[in-house]
Amino acid sequence: MAPESLLAAVDLGSNSFRLEIGRVGSHQRIERVEYLKETVRQGNGLNEHHELTDEAMQRGWDCLARFGERLAGFPADQVRAVATQTLREARNRDVFIARGSALLGFPIEVISGEEEARLIYRGVSSLLPPSQQRRLVVDIGGRSTEVIIGQHGEARQVASYPIGSVAWSTQFFGEGTLSRAHFSAAIKAAQAALTQTVSAYPATAWDCAYASSGTANAVGDILAANGYSGGMITPDSLRWLHEQLMEAGHVDRIRLAGLKEDRRAVIAGGLSILIAALGLLGINELEVAQGALRQGVLHDLLEHEPPADREAAEIAALQQDFGIDAPHALRVRKVARWAWQSLHAQQPPDALSTHALDTAASLHEIGMRISLSAYHRHGAYITEHCGAATWPVELRARITQLVLGHQGKLRKLEAAIEDQAVAWPLLALRLAVQLCHARRDPDLQGIRLHRSDSVFHLTVPEGWAKSYPQSAQLLRTEAVAWQKTPWTLQLHLH
């Protein structure tokens, strides 16, 4: 990246939206130019159906319009906008993202919890001095909490849990009451939600611990203003803050130096999770870090590694880790792409479905390392939960559907398969798997695949079925599988 170039990161968090602009300085260092923050509280705008209310969407759009004015004229490859847990949960996120992206002037990407954790660690480590230490990072956001272990600038182990300061404050302190009973319930629930961290992040796996983002900074500011070391959170200092909040009795009566007004409504929920995390992880000292998600985004932009290159490396690593036959995966991918393009002779395919099909084809046998029996189900679990892959939420869901459905009966995708965005790439992948059953390049000469409304027509040349009897039989079985769906596979075998 050329010196003096401007980079911008937009963080659509559950509590606040943030815009940070950095200038590339000497030795490829990023110098902050501008930082904008608005308390949007989208996390409070999810209704009982997990949909964003009109008011919550409008608050977000108004903020993004203001950010968009500041970002006008920025090159597309120098801006990245990422959304986290609230939009991961929101069922109507597509509505918000479509208009929000237009107002911002740049696409909004809903990232996975694992990708959020990776970027958080990247941001934290970017503002820490070089060290050989293994660093534990705990980030309590509005609706999710990320726990990471890393070394140098690389995250080695990541996890994301759907609990946060906004969610916990709404659930346990919704009326503002700060009683001992409310805190006890909130802390116990946080301990239950984070219980896996006990075995996954033992004290022997890390050398020092850091806290990043909103809750950590808010607690640090309060402690510093009241005679404690604001840069270090300890169990004793948390007990003191816990007592102060209970003495206040209600969020409206909190009178604590260092507490910013925009944090008043969510401090109790964040504190409850922080108390639970320190207890479970056995942390005696938690240093408040300055870096956060947005700095991680900026440093990713600085390296200018295209997401496609990063994903290709992730897929290659997964293939190696799970013993996937990479040449066969490439073979299936090529045939699936042939089928996919054949189905779109009259209209271009959408990018998300194409991306999901390519990735699913590359990883469709990932579950075989666990068990050959029902390996597609093991594979779907891996793709859904694997932290080594940083796919956006919608892409991950689509990949998982394709891996799950690439073999066997189709009733396991009964609801989803009505959608052509699922059915068409699934057909392409299943045909590719059948045609490549012998683990060599199939003879596609003269084979035609086309679609007429909801009917897929597969036509083979004269004598093909006799030359490849097993392939023909697998195709007949495949046609039967589609009979119980809204789609039909019509074979023309000669």
Q: What DSSP string describes 42-80? A: GGGGB-TTS-B-HHHHHHHHHHHHHHHHHHTT--GGGEE
pLDDT recorded at residue 403: 97
Q: What is the DSSP string of 154-208?
A: EEEEEEEES--HHHHHHHHSTT-B--HHHHHHHHHHHHHHTTTHHHHS-GGG-SE
CA 160 to chain centre: 9
- Token pair of 4, please? 């003096």
Q: How many CB atoms lie within 10 A of CB 325?
A: 13
CATH topology of domain 5-110: Nucleotidyltransferase; domain 5 (3.30.420)
Query: pLDDT tens-digit profile of 293-315?
Result: 999 999 999 876 555 566 787 88
Please give the pLDDT value at position 127.
Answer: 86
**CATH architecture entry for 114-298:** 2-Layer Sandwich (3.30)
Which CATH superfamily, name and number, covers 307-442? Answer: Hypothetical protein af1432 (1.10.3210.10)
pTM recorded for the entire structure: 0.71
In this prediction, residue 9 carries a pLDDT of: 97
pLDDT of residue 309: 62
* pLDDT for position 105: 97
Residue 239: name the closest of 205, 289, 275, 207 by CA: 275
* pLDDT for res 290: 87
- Scored b (16 or more CB within 10 A) or e, 270-293 reads bbbbbbbbbbbbebeebbbbebbb
pLDDT at 466: 93
Domain ranges for the chain: 5-110, 114-298, 307-442
Which is it for the CA torsion 303, 304, 307, 312, positive or negative? negative
What does the pLDDT look like over 62-105, one tens digit per residue? 999 999 999 999 999 999 999 999 999 999 999 999 999 999 99
Which of the residues in the chain have pLDDT under 70?
1, 3, 26-28, 304-310, 387-388
379-430 confidence digits (pLDDT tens): 999 999 886 677 878 889 999 999 999 999 999 998 899 999 999 999 999 9
SS3 143: coil
What pLDDT was estimated at residue 414?
82
**pLDDT recorded at residue 159:** 93
Instruction: Judge if 5-110 and 307-442 fold alike in CATH terms.
Output: no
Q: Per the structure block, which two tokens stand in for 308?
A: 């496609």
